Amino acid sequence: MTDTNNKITTKDVNMAKVRNIGIIAHIDAGKTTSTERILFYTGKIHKMGVIDEGTTTTDTMIQERERGITIQSACITTFWKDNRFNIIDTPGHVDFTAEVERSLRVLDGAIMIFDGNAGVQAQSETVWRQADKYGVPRIVFVNKMDKVGSSFNMCLESIRTKLRAPVIPMVIPIGEEHEHMGVVDLMEMKMIIWDKDEKGTEYSVKKIDNEYKDRAQEARDKMIEQIAAEDEKLMGKFLNDQEISVEELKKVLRKATIERKLFPIYCGSAWRNKGIQPLLDAIVDYLPSPLDLPPIKGFGPQTEKEIIRKPSDDEFLSALLFKVQTDPHVGTLSYVRIYSGILKAGSEVYNPNKQSKERIGRLLLMHADKRESIQLGHAGEIVACIGLKESTTGDTLCDKDMQISLSPINFTDPVISLAIEPASADDQEKMGTALNKLASEDPTFRVGFDHETGQTIISGMGELYLDIIIDRLKREFKVNVKTGQPQVAYKETITSVTKAEGKYIHQSGGHGQYGHCNIEVEPKDRGTGFEFVNAVKGGAIPSNFIPSIEKGVKEALINGIIAGYPVVDLKVTVYDGSYHDVDSSDNAFKLAGSFAIKEGVKNAKPIILEPIMKLEVSVPSEYLGTVIGDLSSRRGQIESTEELLGFTTINSKIPLEAVRGYATVIRSLTQGRGSFYMEFSCYEPVPKNIQEELIIAKNPTQDKK
């Protein structure tokens, strides 16, 4: 039934009835359609939007409505049976993975959606692991049960084998594919059939038909056994064949779900308006409120001692800024999850990351692209602030007198770049402003400058991502730009240990310049980044010059040593040097550090790394040989193949450079019937011949050796 109690009020909310949840899945599994049904059945909207028509509530960007994909996560608040749901609908496309990452960081629970005829897909696995990383309890919803080839049991097996997740079926489907009518609720042992109206607001609840009785009883017995195994008292009852009440089962299952020991699984068809109401009840029954989770942990910015804050209005303020969004009407919107204390409109807060005070101009509750002004944000809530000037994604907001820093959000480095330049002088200044705003929104978007060509270089997570950025520059910010070809984000690193010396001595009358340091460079494991160690003893270099050496080293590494790509994954130890009482300066030691690292990297057997992608290609089985041959010619490594319903899925690893523009290739090879999904996997060394080509391309005057 539609929940009509859907008015937002700014009065105190019972925190036990709050659910901060996200909708996560592989692209096209049905996240936005499911969100639309949730909003309709909870009474938030009165007409269900359609993705193909660009009328869905949470897809508000013009690019989202035109392309039929979610690009930005959208927050919306609704109510179901007196419980408040703060929902975040996230993108499925891997190019926008930062939206999923930051959403999961602040959510208490999630609904994981799977396509009923595909089971676990590549991005399903990625977002499941992201949710594991942040300890987010989940309910599973197998969608598209009306689709040809859909199988609830196949999805169950896929989740158990590929994700090794202890899912527990709470329903069994009544019919599959075009015969899908509803579900059998195993907890209450009743049939729920959506047969009363097209919109699915009314449905029949009745006793289980004879043809489903045995199957339902067997499934319920397994469900009870799984739940009882999580509680000693219940297991005793189960072993002694004693009656176990629904209330007892729900209580233990709720605890097991919150502890991620079990994942309740439901099914239905969001597009056909079936299966959503039991899912809404499950959110209330099994997903946690802010009170059900452990208190948030942080540390003192000065003391670095652990600090714990309980989810209560009576505690001191601790909040995490997890998303920044440019809004044409109100300027910059800063989305904040409040973990403890109260956030007040007009109040002053402190940002320990930037060591600055901020004033909260206005507080808003967000309903996708609509907003409602409020005066207070309570513990456990997600709100948006207007007026923050310096705070960015991952920053903490707290009381100045009782400071706390919450752990930041880590994002993946971009893997592809594009050179852009303004079409006219009028666009020059506008472009800089627009790029700064876009960079503040998304931590995976980077802006740089190529001094050789005079072009601005933008970097992101994929070709689609950069395409959207260019489109936004033109439409949203009215900036016309010319673009080059997308370029792969190569990196440099070293493979051996070596020592090097850097000296900068300059005499020009009067005070001279003197800086001298000895360093050791050694490789680190892939993906561990840069480490700088000060091992100088006996005052050979005064401690105040050490940061200058580090700065010189870092600047040289950013600009690259052998081919102009950033140098990563190495440890630099400064262990000796000398100084001059009069002539030594910060700048001299900075240059000495730069000279030393350039020599050190060149002597440490440097190599170039390239981004390797995980590529999943789905093709009609008759084209399998053709597609595998093409992938092999592109330096692809085939890892596995799976066949289902006349289509074969090829799982492979392949260099990003080799699959730029692959959408056109796969259409051509399969007469338009093939599709693919690609996401970043890791960085690996390029073959020697390609490394030589990249070095010569960057240094055309250098002889090939």
Separation CA 372–CA 365 (nearest Å): 5
Q: Is the pLDDT of residue 64 over 70?
A: no
Distance CA 626, CA 628 (A): 6
Rg of the Cα atoms in the chain? 28
pLDDT of residue 5: 45
pLDDT in tens, 221-269: 999 999 999 999 999 998 998 989 999 999 999 999 999 999 999 999 9
Query: What DSSP designation does 295 have?
Result: P
Band of the pLDDT at 597, cuts 50, 70, 90?
very high
Helix (H), strand (E) at residue 586: helix 586-603
Pick the more confident residue, 663 or 401.
Answer: 401
Question: At 75, is the pLDDT very low, low, confident or very high (cuts 50, 70, 90)?
Answer: confident
Q: Give the start-end residues of each E strand in 423-548.
A: 446-450, 455-460, 481-483, 487-488, 491-493, 498-506, 513-523, 530-534
Confirm if 98 and 29 have CB atoms less than 8 A apart. no
Supply the pLDDT for residue 705.
40
Q: Of all residues in the chain, what percent carry a pLDDT higher than 70?
A: 93
**pLDDT value at residue 59:** 59
The SS3 assignment for 171 reads: strand
Contacts for 365 with CB less than 8 Å, ≥ 6 apart: 8, 77, 371, 372, 374, 383, 384
pLDDT at position 704, please?
43
412 vs 158, residue with greater confidence: 158
pLDDT of residue 511 exceeding 80, the answer is: no
Point out which residues pair with 20 in neighbouring strands. Answer: 86
pLDDT tens-digit readout, 604-648: 999 999 999 999 898 999 999 999 999 999 999 999 998 877 889
Q: Show the tokens assigned to 45.
A: 């909207």
Name the pLDDT band for 10 (thresholds 50, 70, 90): very low
Question: Beta strands 167-169 and 263-267: pairing type?
Answer: parallel
Same fold for the pair 16-292 and 609-690: no
Report the percent of the chain where pLDDT is more than 90: 56
**Residue labelled with tokens 């714990």:** 308
- The yes-or-no verdict on residue 687 having pLDDT over 50 is yes
pLDDT tens for 662-674 read 888 888 898 888 8
Instruction: Find the mean pLDDT for residues 158-176.
Output: 94
* CA count, 13 A, side-chain hemisphere, 156: 15
Q: Which residue, among 577, 484, 585, has the nearest Cα to 534 in the 3D structure?
A: 577
Instruction: Give residue-wise pLDDT tens across range 460-473.
Output: 888 888 888 999 89
Q: Which residue has the higher pLDDT, 49 or 532?
A: 532
pTM of structure: 0.78
| Segments in 490-585 forming alpha helices (H) | 546-559
> Would you place residue 285 in the very low, low, confident or very high pLDDT band (cuts 50, 70, 90)?
very high
Q: In the chain, what are the domain boundaries?
A: 16-292, 296-406, 416-488, 492-605, 609-690
Contacts of 354-362 spanning 24+ positions with Cβ under 8 A: 354/390, 354/391, 354/395, 355/301, 356/390, 357/400, 358/387, 358/388, 358/389, 358/390, 358/391, 358/397, 359/387, 360/385, 360/386, 360/387, 360/388, 361/385, 361/386, 361/387, 362/330, 362/386, 362/387
Residue 590's DSSP bridge partners are none
| Angle at CA of residue 611, ends 414 and 64, nearest 5° | 45
Please state which of the ranges 179-183, 370-374, 565-569 shows the lowest mean pLDDT. Answer: 370-374
Q: Which residues contact 53 (CB under 8 A, 6 or more apart)?
A: none
Question: What gap in Å lies between CA 164 and CA 128, rounded to an integer?
Answer: 11
Element containing residue 278 per DSSP (H, E): helix 276-286
Confidence at residue 2, expressed as pLDDT on a 0 to 100 scale? 41
The dotted CATH code for 16-292 is: 3.40.50.300
- Alpha-carbon distance of 617 to 318, in angstroms, equals 45
| 6 confidence band (pLDDT: 50, 70, 90) | very low
Q: How far apart are CA 482 and CA 602, in angstroms?
A: 36
What are the DSSP calls for 139-161, one per residue?
EEEEE-TTSTT--HHHHHHHHHH
Which of the pair, 679 or 351, is modelled with greater confidence? 351
Q: Mean pLDDT throughout 378-403?
A: 90
Residue 52, pLDDT score: 60
Residue pLDDT, tens place only, 177-218: 999 999 999 999 999 999 888 888 889 999 999 999 999 999
CATH number of 492-605: 3.30.230.10
Contact between 393 and 337 under an 8 Å Cβ cutoff? The reply is no
Mean pLDDT score, 486-497: 92
3 state DSSP class of 317: coil
Q: Which two tokens stand for residue 468?
A: 């959207």
pLDDT of residue 696: 86
Q: Measuring CA to CA, which residue among 583, 325, 348 is closest to residue 441?
A: 325
Tokens 């609904």, residue located: 111
Residue type for position 651: N
Fold of 296-406: Elongation Factor Tu (Ef-tu); domain 3 (2.40.30)
Summarize the confidence of residues 27-34 as an average pLDDT.
Answer: 87
| 3-class SS letters over 614-634 | EEEEEEEHHHHHHHHHHHHHC
String of b and e for 389-404 (b: at least 16 CB within 10 Å)? Answer: eebbbbbbbbbeeebb
- Long-range pairs for 126-134 at CB < 8 Å and ≥24 separation? 126/94, 126/97, 126/679, 127/24, 127/25, 127/26, 127/90, 127/100, 128/163, 128/165, 130/24, 130/97, 130/100, 130/101, 130/104, 131/24, 131/104, 132/260, 133/104, 134/104, 134/105, 134/107
- Of 86, 83, 75, the closest CA to residue 16 belongs to 83
Average pLDDT over the chain reads 88
416-488 CATH: 3.30.70.870
CATH number of 609-690: 3.30.70.240
Reply yes or no on whether the pLDDT at 524 is more than 50.
Answer: yes
- Taking the C-alpha atoms of residue 273 and residue 556, their distance in angstroms, rounded to an integer, is 58
pLDDT reported for residue 3: 44
Read off the pLDDT of each residue in 348-353 and give the average, rounded to a whole number: 93
Top-confidence residue, 593 or 704: 593
pLDDT of residue 326: 79
Whether the per-residue pLDDT at 94 is higher than 80: the answer is: no
